[in-house]
Structure 1
Amino acid sequence: MWSGAIIAHFLAYFAIMPRFFVDLPLVSATRFDLPEEAARHVQVLRLQPGEPLTLFNGHGGEYAAVVVKMGKRHVTVEVGEPDPASRESPLALTLVQALSAAERMDYTVQKATELGVSRIQVVQSAYCAVKLGAERLEKRLVHWQGVARAAAEQCGRTRLPEIVAPLRFADYLAKAPAADLKLLLSPIEGRRLDALPQQAASAIVLIGPEGGFSAQEEADARTAGFMPLLLGPRIFRTETVAPVIAALLQAKYGDF
């Protein structure tokens, strides 16, 4: 039989403090009204004046805070002491993800955020099943940023992954930045994970759409310095690849 103290410790350990992103400067001992989205979440949770929560603005660290006033449309909070906590991976990991269907892209962004990916570059490649014009792409970018914020609130990240406006795949390759590790995920050939270098501080991974990259795109990627990597004998769906490779690289080079 567990003692009351052990049970209390167990409950406290797994207690989840409500945590919200606010795109505002945070300064101890100041009060302000939460932005509309955060205020709505506080109201849904039915937090009352005097109850604690955590705020972060994506620039590192987070702040204790307390609800001061609940209104029909406004929630006033007071900012408490800062916590310099950093839960960011030492691996600067960029995923270059070919555009996929709405729910699949949402899943990719959500899981990449939870897994500590620092940058997501969306690209349009030859076999992308989804084709979006400039206006719709801009709306999707705003939506993906919202998905990343919600995932960061849940998983405890103190910085948001950068989600870059979509480019044509060829345009990305033409200006791809340097990195310790540049990988092209291939379903048919390439090095295995155990053949990768023992150390890397940065990595860029190219992930194709449902139909994969075209032969020309793969050739262009190799010319741009990307090394083919084969994850195994099975072919993954595009939304599966991002969390799989992110977890593997975090285990090898990051904070897993």
Structure 2
Amino acid sequence: MRVPHIYQTSSIALNTPVTLDDDAAGHIGRVLRMKVGEHVSIFNGEGGEYLSEIIEVTKKTVVVMPLELNPHDVESPLKIHLGQCVSRGDKMDFTIQKSVELGITEITPIFSQRCGVKLMGDRLEKKHQQWQKIAIAAAEQSGRNFVPIIHPPIDLKQWLAQQTDAIKLTLHPRAEHSIKTITVPKDGVRFLVGPEGGFTDDEMALTKQLEFVDIRLGPRVLRTETAALTVLSALQLQFGDLAN
């Protein structure tokens, strides 16, 4: 049986008992029904993972003892920040989950003029928390020891105006540039994926005004959730995980 890989928000030290967070304890105790003496791997995003032994299990609490630090690192050398216009239904959940598996560093959900999703107040906060939990679960499943940040959703203009030294890209099916034409992004990449209805002409003009380079992925028009994952795969192949 594969040793479960669990994210823990607290500090971790060898030979010091750790009480797992509620979500992790529920997964270990109620879902997997693991018992005292079995092993889990825990990480908190500060580097490496800790092989740990379960030393206490109750209905609400799981306590583990970190026994060994493994400096295992599966992070991409390429820092990638995805600005993803919010999509309907479970498409956004899918995009976040698979982006984490493909090595994304940060994701900012974005509201644009043709975005078909309207969220405000408590609903928006709950959705943001849900997206971060999806990122945690995807990091655990894919063996990452770092959980990408899911930033609070913001308006397109706000995201475009943020200062960065990264290469800035916008996906567009009629773009003049191919992804193969960009140079090695030593400061990382920020790339923008539009909503299901696409960007307006004014929004595309704003991206160019703020020095985003529009790129195409091929002759076909891709769905918003397909586009993000295709760009991630292409970037990892050219500059990241698979570049060498």
- TM bucket by the smaller chain? over 0.9
Give the deviation of 1:136 after TM superposition: 1.8
* SS of the residue 1:54 aligns to: strand
Aligned residue among 71, 80, 86 for 2:67: 80
1:200 equivalent to 2:185? Answer yes
Aligned residue among 208, 211, 216 for 1:222: 208
Q: Which runs of 5+ in 2 are unaligned?
A: none
CA distance in structure 2 between the aligned counterparts of 1:247 and 1:26, rounded to whole angstroms = 33
1:35 equivalent to 2:21? Answer yes
Give the total of aligned pairs.
Answer: 240
CA distance in structure 2 between the aligned counterparts of 1:136 and 1:159, rounded to whole angstroms = 27
State the percentage of identical aligned residues.
38
Aligned residue among 106, 128, 139 for 1:152: 139
The one-letter amino acid of 2:134's match is V
- TM-score w.r.t. structure 1 length? 0.90
Instruction: Name the structure 1 match of 2:159.
Output: 172
Q: Which runs of 5+ in 1 are unaligned?
A: 1-14
1:104 equivalent to 2:63? Answer no
1:95 equivalent to 2:82? Answer yes
Map 1:21-60 to 2 at 5 A. Answer: 21-43=7-29, 44-60=31-47
Give the deviation of 1:176 after TM superposition: 4.1
Instruction: Name the structure 2 match of 1:121.
Output: 108
* SS of the residue 1:158 aligns to: coil
Higher helix share: 1
> Which entry has the higher C-alpha Rg, 1 or 2?
1
Instruction: Please say if residues 17 and 54 of structure 1, whose CA atoms lie closer than 8 Å, have aligned partners that are also in contact.
Output: yes
Instruction: Please say if residues 12 and 18 of structure 2, whose CA atoms lie closer than 8 Å, have aligned partners that are also in contact.
Output: no
The Cα offsets for residues 151-193 of structure 1, whole Å up to 9 and x where unpaired, read as 00010111111111111111222224221x2111002223112
Instruction: Name the structure 1 match of 2:223.
Output: 237
CA distance in structure 1 between the aligned counterparts of 2:130 and 2:234, rounded to whole angstroms = 27
CA distance in structure 1 between the aligned counterparts of 2:18 and 2:34, rounded to whole angstroms = 16
The one-letter amino acid of 1:169's match is L
- TM-score w.r.t. structure 2 length? 0.94
